[in-house]
Amino acid sequence: MGKPTGFIEYKREVSVSEEPKDRIRHFNEFHTHIPKERQQTQGARCMDCGVPFCQSGMMLAGMMSGCPLHNLVPEWNDLVFHGNWEQAYNRLKKTNNFPEFTSRVCPALCENACTCGLIGDAVSTKENEYAIIENAYATGLAKAKPPKVRTGKKVAVVGSGPSGLAVADQLNKRGHLVTVFERSDRIGGLLMYGIPNMKLEKRIVERKLAVMREEGIVFQTGVNVGKDRKAEKLLKEFDRVVLCCGASNPRDIKAPGRDAKGIYFAVDFLSQNTKALLDYDFDLDKAKGKYVSAKGKHVVIIGGGDTGNDCVGTCLRHGAKSVTQLEMMPKPPEKRAENNPWPEWPKVCKTDYGQEEAIALFGHDPRIYETTVKEFIEDKNGNLKAVKVIRLAWEKDSRTGRMNMKEIEGSEQMLDAELVLIAAGFLGSEKYVTDAFGVATDQRTNVATGEGSYQTSAEHVFAAGDMHIGQSLVVRAIRQGRECAREVDESLMGYTNL
């Protein structure tokens, strides 16, 4: 601990966001980060706690508290303070394969478990991480380092999201020959198409992929394993197969009028938008007809989570006439409730970038809580023109103790809507993939494995990421990939040093 009084002497400082009305004019990242010297001062605020909850990565009350990757947070915070950027990078890479991604899209579980945050402002750990990795690229520390020895063992990774890339990166470092198969036209999974460009610019993804290619990982796009590439053939060609296909089944809304034209799943809407931007050099006018446009439309987004917020931000950049976001749950409190103590994840109201932009543009929060869709209303041509919504009340079942949702009679309301985006989460793995490999699934259609294991019911087939645990965070997917790679390596070599 280089500065015992740092948390007292220095105030928390983070990057500055571009004004909402300005940033909705483009699809680029919109934060201006503080200079290197001031970032080093932020490292001094870390107290090097005896029990570093920031790196605990444990489940408390059903929620993750601290970093799932067990990042060595106090260590590299102190190294940042001392200006030892090379060693800070080395310590960061010990636990995190992709800090260039997590420093942009992670909800900063570490900061929410920071001891400083108990009575004041948490250490700006996420911004320290950003500074470390960007300095590493700028100074050549993050350049490719191909393995010096190859084992001759071949591993196929199906899916190129964060878990698949983590598996590939770890096993390649071990010296195995790794090929990643992706059914889309670009590598990256949700990093490429699921997360909008303003949160994670795709040049950042491509930058890391270029390093991984130079290190020897082979990427094949446009290959839909389970359909145009048979599972049996893959198992013959490779010593092990790892399934990292994500939780790819979006949860639907079954209400009358669902077949009206103008209703889309959020994941499809966001993916088409990003693909159009990349294919047409960020000129959506040239990409007309290649994506779903919200321009000039009243938009209703069903779902109050991160994906719903991403849809809000994207629709505003299209030029939507209005945006409304429906959330079934009650509005969270502004501060921690007594039954939600630190270091649990704080169940408080969070206003994200998309909602900030909607407030700036329309003068009010786009979210309506405790509300769901009752009916989709279409015109005589079958086009969506409105949605009927109804208020909800949550009541505790005296017998089971569970909270049940009940519609409030007479609370129906009509909302204009030419476009509805369903961002209600995902249900699990896709059946054609699990059937192709003959792997067992659980009640939620996630790939089933033994407790603490990634080995599926099929010989030599492993699974990791959202396909294994259900929809979750990028940082948890990376952890899944790292742990899975360790198990795969041990099965190949009889021991592992990963």
Indicate if 413 and 443 belong to the same structural domain. no
pTM: 0.96
The DSSP line for 128-169 is HHHHHHHHHHHHTTTS----S-----EEEEE--SHHHHHHHH
Indicate if 29 and 126 belong to the same structural domain. yes
- Residue (of 186, 199, 196, 190) closest to 161 by Cα position: 190
CATH number of domain containing 275? 3.50.50.60
Helix (H, G, I), strand (E, B) or coil at 185: coil
Indicate if 35 and 177 belong to the same structural domain. no
**pLDDT confidence of residue 248:** 85
Report if residue 257 sits inside a domain. Answer: no
Report if residue 380 sits inside a domain. Answer: yes
Give the pairing of strands 154-158 and 240-243: parallel
**pLDDT confidence of residue 398:** 81
In the chain, how many domains are there? 3
Report if residue 485 sits inside a domain. Answer: yes
Indicate if 224 and 311 belong to the same structural domain. no
Report if residue 147 sits inside a domain. Answer: no
What phi and psi, each to the nearest 5 degrees, are found at residue 134?
A: -70, -35
Indicate if 40 and 133 belong to the same structural domain. yes
**pLDDT confidence of residue 367:** 98
Indicate if 341 and 469 belong to the same structural domain. no
Ordered per-residue pLDDT tens for the chain, 498 residues: 678 899 999 999 999 999 999 999 999 999 999 999 999 999 999 999 999 999 999 999 999 999 999 999 999 999 999 999 999 999 999 999 999 999 999 999 999 999 999 889 999 999 999 999 999 999 999 999 999 999 999 999 999 999 999 999 999 999 999 999 999 999 999 999 999 999 999 999 999 999 999 999 999 999 999 999 999 999 999 999 999 999 988 999 999 999 999 999 999 999 999 999 999 999 999 999 999 999 999 999 999 899 999 999 999 999 999 999 999 999 999 999 999 999 999 999 999 999 999 999 999 999 999 999 999 999 999 999 999 999 999 888 888 888 888 999 999 999 999 999 999 999 889 999 999 999 999 998 999 999 999 999 999 999 999 999 999 999 999 999 999 999 999 999 999 999
**pLDDT confidence of residue 201:** 98
Indicate if 393 and 270 belong to the same structural domain. yes
Indicate if 111 and 235 belong to the same structural domain. no
Indicate if 189 and 165 belong to the same structural domain. yes
Position 325, amino acid: Q
Q: How far from 271 is each of 161, 188, 275, 277, 375, CA to CA, in Å?
A: 14, 12, 6, 10, 26
Q: Structural domain of residue 80, as residue ranges?
A: 6-139
Indicate if 387 and 466 belong to the same structural domain. no
- Residue (of 130, 33, 119) closest to 342 by Cα position: 119
- Residue (of 151, 185, 262, 210) closest to 492 by Cα position: 151
